[in-house]
Chain A
Amino acid sequence: MKIEFILNGKKVEVNTDPARRLLDVLREDFGLIGVKEGCGEGECGACAVLIDGKIVHSCLVPVGNVKGKEVTTIEGLKDTEEYKVIHESFLDAGSVQCGFCTPGFVMATYALLKENPQPHEDDIRKAISGNLCRCTGYSMIIDGVKLAAKRGEKLWKD
């Protein structure tokens, strides 16, 4: 089946089984390896992408569901000012260890700050509660989010 959608700002079309996981389409058909498979059950958030600006777990999205929608992956975020702020903040806060979960946390951070530019600690914990990390104990990821909120202040309000 032909399915058209917008991927990282560009119109794309795939001819594929609509039941295929968006995760597989992004990785295998488009080579977007920043989208990771950590579980395939919607538990870990390593495959998080944005659909129409909202965070979702791409392992649970049949590609038939994205017809006509806008899909954004970490690769599509990479050149934005917002991403750069998150990148620098994660570096400085020590938010990264093994890194497998990191792009997912970047997506969750972006989605949170776009909606809530000045989140409290509880808001942050809730916003990243669908992303598992086994290395950091989360504390330094939360520091990274806080730092990004502070540093990007004006950016998030647009």
Chain B
Amino acid sequence: MEGLIPESLDEALEALSERKFIPIAGGTDLMVRYKRWKNLPPSFPSLPLFIGHIAELSGIEKKDDEIVIKAATLLSEIEQSPLVPSILRKAISQMAAPGIRNMGTIGGNIVNSSPAGDTLPPLYVLDAKVVLLSKNERRCLFIYDFITGPGKNQRRDDELLYEVRFKVPKHTHEMYRKVGTRKANALSKLSVAALASSRDGKIDDFRIGFGAVAPTPVRVKSIEEKVKSRHVSELSDDFINEIVNEYGEWIKPIDDQRSTALYRKTVALRLLRAFLLQLKPV
């Protein structure tokens, strides 16, 4: 198997317009997924297109009221960037290990579209959009519309994920919790990212995303709406129970080699409850 190392974004898009490739930025997920046996190269399903080095695909900037992160930006750069909201930085700082964050990219984590992808719950609650480029087209989708299933998304074979962008929220409360198999270099049993803002006792923003508890990350705007515009004094036990129960309908985890469905669901809902309780006045 060979592949292509394009010099520029245009060359990469040109190549993609001609035949199917598997784009590789950091390679940290793909090298493991297609691993075969000791000392053999992995067996990719199509020719690899190496894009990690393309300068146009790397960088973090603030554009108007948005933060724009190019797809092949290293996780370690995002982790250290003061432009990036802390909820995403926290999530990234708990991903894998330093040596992997120095190779892995945010675009890789998004396109991988794993239910346990750790950047996804923060990106869901940030209402992030992804920009896809092909030779002749540019598309922009919300991340929750982009990801359609475990390992599945809307990227067409001729497209590259170009960038991810989002507005910086002005929130007063924030929670990120990864419950992993251990404290470093761990895969998530589940994760929760939540933002909220309450001003003068009124909850004017409430968003929560869950990872590794369903085929795709879970964010339910209809339930969020119920919490929004409430006064914190209305966060009664009954109300909180009702919200927790409603999320319970959406959280449908599995048993696997890392945890159990029961644990994932119970703990996800406990963390939700803990976050709602944080909003209550002391």
Where the two chains meet, the residues of A that have a C-beta atom closer than 8 Å to any C-beta of B are 1, 3, 17-21, 24, 28, 37, 40-43, 45, 48, 51, 54-57, 59-62, 64-65, 67-69, 108, 111, 126-127, 129-131
Contacts and interface: CB of A to CB of B under 8 A. Distances in A.
Contact of B27 (A62, A67, A69, A131): A62
Report the 4 A-B pairs with minimum CB-CB distance, sorted nearest first.
A130-B97, A129-B184, A19-B41, A64-B50
A20 B38 CA distance: 11
Contacts of B102: 51, 54-56
A127 B183 CA distance: 13
Contact of B98 (A17, A51, A130): A130
B104 to A, nearest CB: 9
Nearest to A111: B98
A62 B50 contact: yes
Interface in B19-47: 24, 26-28, 31-32, 35, 38-39, 41-42, 44
A6 to B, nearest CB: 14
B256 interface: no
A99 to B, nearest CB: 19
Nearest to A67: B5
Interface in B155-195: 183-185
B41 A57 contact: no
Interface string B52-90: 110000000000000000000000100000000000000
Contacts of A18: 2-3, 5, 48, 50
B180 to A, nearest CB: 12
Interface of B: 1-3, 5, 24, 26-28, 31-32, 35, 38-39, 41-42, 44, 48, 50, 52-53, 76, 96-100, 102-103, 183-185
Contacts of B44: 19
Nearest to B47: A19
B32 A60 contact: yes
Given A40-B35, A54-B76, A61-B27, A19 B184 contact: no
A51 B2 CA distance: 22
A103 to B, nearest CB: 13
Given A20-B41, A129-B184, A130-B184, A67 B1 contact: no
Given A18-B48, A62-B48, A43 B185 contact: yes
A31 to B, nearest CB: 14
B103 A61 contact: yes
A18 B41 CA distance: 9
A79 B26 CA distance: 30
B31 A60 contact: yes
7 contacts: A55-B98, A56-B102, A57-B99, A60-B28, A62-B24, A64-B5, A65-B50
B50 A67 contact: yes
Given A18-B5, A41-B32, A42-B100, A64 B48 contact: yes
B182 to A, nearest CB: 9
A146 B76 CA distance: 23
Contacts of B99: 42, 45, 48, 55-57, 108, 130
B94 to A, nearest CB: 10
Contacts of B98: 55, 108, 111, 126-127, 129-130
Contact of B1 (A17, A45, A69): A17
Contacts of B97: 42, 45, 57, 129-131
A25 to B, nearest CB: 10
A55 B74 CA distance: 13
A48 B102 CA distance: 12
Contacts of B32: 41-42, 60
Nearest to A45: B99
